[in-house]
Amino acid sequence: MLGTIGVSAVSYLNTVPFIYGLRQFPICNSINLQLNYPSKSALSLEKNESQIGLIPVAAIEGISNAHIFSNYCIGSTDAVRTVVLFSNSSIDEIKTIYLDRESRTSVLLIKILAANHWNKTFSWSELSTYASPEYQKPNIGIVAIGDKVFELEKLYTYKYDLALEWKKLTGLPFAFAAWVAKKSIDSKFLVQFEQALQIGIDNIPLALEGYNIYGLSTQEATFYLTNNISYHFDEKKREAMTLFLKMGKGLAPG
């Protein structure tokens, strides 16, 4: 791979360590870094606007020739905090769930949980704006992902963490997004890329300096990145991804 390599990543707090490493490490001279929301990151790779992307795992199979090339991901071994179902009713009383279209993975995950964990049939609708008081009414739930969750937490009585619910169902961790390419990766570039990601993970306090943390204290943001988020794409997360995609067959994420 020669010249400047387009890298599409996600503009959420959970990717701050990755972004820091890619911007601080010498590899920054070889890449053109783009920040998007998850589904846009997938679209950028699909349209060849980027050569590498941090892609929601549910979107990978829909991209021709896509393959995971990195040992790093956005995952969680327990509660992830920022991929959740909010409601002012308990799960047994929810009738309609509004879906956040920014990530196919979260949409597919809640449909898997509905069918296999909660054993419930919901009415699905598309989320428009989080500011609508309609979503705070009884019997309504919303799926929310990313940094906006920090602001929404105080508005709802019930919060179902989708990574935690997945673990209750399967006993496994979860991988939400992985690094994906459509072409082979030069071995020297890959070594530098992996080193840059690890540098970011090893320097989370530095990565957070000057970052707008959505009302979180630096201490709380650090806790989130070191306890809620798990960055290594290990065998258990790979097993979880395989199971997730298998269970999701026939459950359209749209």
pLDDT digits (tens, 9 = 90+) for 76-125: 999 999 999 999 999 999 999 999 877 789 999 999 999 999 999 999 99
* Residue 2 pLDDT class (50, 70, 90 cuts): very low
Check if the beta carbon of residue 37 is closer than 8 Å to that of residue 15.
no
Residues in the chain: 254
Looking at the structure, do residues 123 and 237 belong to the same domain, yes or no?
no
The domain that holds 127 is classified in CATH as: 3.40.190.10
Looking at the structure, do residues 125 and 189 belong to the same domain, yes or no?
no
- Least Cα distance to 67 among 100, 90, 45, 35 occurs for 45
Per-residue exposure over 84-97, b if at least 16 CB sit within 10 Å of its own CB, e if not: bbbbbbebeebeeb
Looking at the structure, do residues 95 and 166 belong to the same domain, yes or no?
yes
Looking at the structure, do residues 184 and 108 belong to the same domain, yes or no?
no
132 or 224, higher pLDDT: 224
Q: Nearest 10 degrees: CA dihedral of 124, 126, 127, 129? A: -150
Looking at the structure, do residues 159 and 42 belong to the same domain, yes or no?
no
Looking at the structure, do residues 68 and 135 belong to the same domain, yes or no?
no
Helices (H), the chain: 16-24, 38-46, 57-60, 104-116, 148-152, 162-170, 187-202, 204-208, 218-223, 235-247
Domains of the chain: total:
2
What pTM does this model have? Answer: 0.93
Residue ending a domain, choose from 112, 147, 170: 170
In this prediction, residue 139 carries a pLDDT of 95
In this prediction, residue 214 carries a pLDDT of 74
Per-residue exposure over 42-74, b if at least 16 CB sit within 10 Å of its own CB, e if not: bbbbbeeebbbbbbbbbbbeebeebebbbbbbb
Looking at the structure, do residues 164 and 89 belong to the same domain, yes or no?
yes
Q: Could you tell me the residue range of the domain that residue 57 belongs to?
A: 5-75+174-247
Q: Nearest 10 degrees: CA dihedral of 167, 171, 172, 176? A: -20
Whether 254 is covered by a domain: the verdict is no
Cα four-point dihedral sign 19, 23, 24, 26: positive
Residue ending a domain, choose from 120, 150, 170: 170
- Which amino acid, one-letter code, is at 213? I
Looking at the structure, do residues 157 and 213 belong to the same domain, yes or no?
no
**Which token pair is 1?**
């791979």
Residue ending a domain, choose from 136, 153, 170: 170
Whether 121 is covered by a domain: the verdict is yes
Looking at the structure, do residues 198 and 163 belong to the same domain, yes or no?
no
Looking at the structure, do residues 189 and 239 belong to the same domain, yes or no?
yes
